[in-house]
């Protein structure tokens, strides 16, 4: 708790380029939270290196992601926007929590199985203990709530288990976090395989809408979106392609699926795809313009990186000092 507000942590990996699912399912939801919560938003670049990265590309993508946070509307004064790698407490706490996490718990993590299948030539220990680093991210700031998608609930559950186990041994050290799930846009699906989540790493370039895609590219991708053959715009599970397009339209416009069905009752799929594409392109244009403006202002972004990094370190160290004392590490001589 800080100044009467509950604590909130979330973050995104600095790999690839943010896509529409990241924006509608997470980033756009974040914009509404700073008045109610004390928010820490990390560019989680420590997580990124479980897969081999080109160093120069990783640095650029990390800076671009931090800039996109601000371009999308996150106020860097109200929210602590920082690089995970600039706060050593993440890695320190992760090691300590590794010693309170069981192999069987990590063996059950579906993300490890999925990523191991995709990167069979690099199944490293970091990939296996990734959920413990995620737990450290959350617990480091005594987070009360964590915005998560439904597919990330397993990671939040193991975080809660680790925190409760530590508290049972050492007393009331960690806040036990709860999930925050946005009402709309929580899971945006692929435009080419609408039963699969939209991903920035999808090999099919038409499957995902990226935040920096230009207007014509966005329209073209929506026109090619996979649907079905009956030409009825109905929000049904058995029509995953159309349901996904309705979800996207609702997340951007704020309308309900029922309102969307009524609005397009007399339209065909072509008209509906175009309408969804246009509303998405129009909504992303201000974000893109702001990103390009911010990218030119190197001193401003550097100032945010420095100030918010210092703030994140201050609060991280408060937790870390408590944890180190509890487990029995000797205090530093000052």
Q: Which residues are designated catalytic?
A: 115, 197, 200
> What token pair was written down for 27?
């980033």
Q: Give the C-alpha separation, 294 to 89, whole Å.
A: 29
Q: Return the number of other C-beta atoms located less than 10 Å from residue 18's C-beta.
A: 24
Looking at the DSSP bridge assignments, the partners of residue 178 are 145
First vs last C-alpha separation in the chain? 28
The DSSP annotation for 284-315 comes to: HHHHHHHHHHHHH-HHHHHHHHHHHHHHHHHH
Dmax (CA) of the chain: 75
73: helix, coil or strand? coil
CB atoms within 10 A of CB 90: 23
What is the rounded distance in angstroms from the CA atom of residue 164 to the CA atom of residue 167? Answer: 5
Write the CA distances from 179 to 69, 152, 182, 214, integer angstroms. Answer: 21, 10, 10, 34
Contact 244, 233 (CB under 8 A): no
């Amino acid at each position: 708790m800080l100044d009467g507000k509950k604590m909130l942590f979330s973050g995104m990996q600095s790999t690839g380029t943010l896509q529409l699912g990241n924006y509608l399912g997470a980033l756009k939801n974040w914009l509404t939270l700073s008045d109610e919560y004390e928010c820490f938003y990390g560019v989680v670049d420590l997580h990124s290196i479980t897969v081999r990265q080109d160093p120069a590309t990783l640095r650029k993508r990390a800076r671009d992601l931090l800039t996109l946070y601000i371009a999308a509307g996150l106020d860097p004064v109200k929210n602590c926007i920082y690089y995970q790698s600039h706060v050593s407490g993440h890695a320190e706490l992760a090691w300590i929590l590794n010693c309170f996490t069981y192999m069987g718990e990590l063996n059950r993590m579906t993300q490890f199985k999925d990523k191991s299948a995709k990167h069979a030539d690099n199944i490293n220990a970091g990939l296996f203990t990734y959920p413990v680093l995620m737990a450290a991210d959350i617990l480091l700031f005594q987070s009360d709530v964590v915005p998560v998608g439904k597919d990330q609930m397993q990671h939040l559950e193991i975080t809660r288990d680790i925190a409760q186990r530590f508290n049972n041994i050492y007393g009331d050290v960690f806040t036990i976090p709860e999930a925050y799930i946005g009402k709309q846009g929580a899971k945006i699906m692929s435009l080419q395989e609408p039963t699969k989540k939209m991903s920035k790493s999808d090999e099919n370039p038409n499957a995902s809408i990226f935040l920096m895609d230009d207007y014509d590219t966005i329209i073209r991708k929506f026109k090619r979106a996979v649907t079905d053959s009956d030409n009825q715009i109905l929000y049904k599970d058995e029509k995953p392609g159309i349901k996904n397009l309705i979800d996207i339209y609702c997340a951007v416009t704020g309308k309900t699926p029922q309102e969307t069905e009524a609005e397009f009752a007399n339209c065909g799929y072509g008209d509906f795809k175009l309408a969804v594409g246009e509303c998405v392109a129009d909504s992303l244009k201000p974000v893109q313009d702001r990103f390009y403006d911010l990218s030119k202002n190197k001193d401003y972004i550097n100032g945010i990186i420095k100030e918010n990094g210092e703030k994140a370190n201050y609060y991280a160290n408060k937790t870390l000092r408590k944890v180190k004392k509890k487990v029995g590490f000797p205090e530093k001589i000052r």
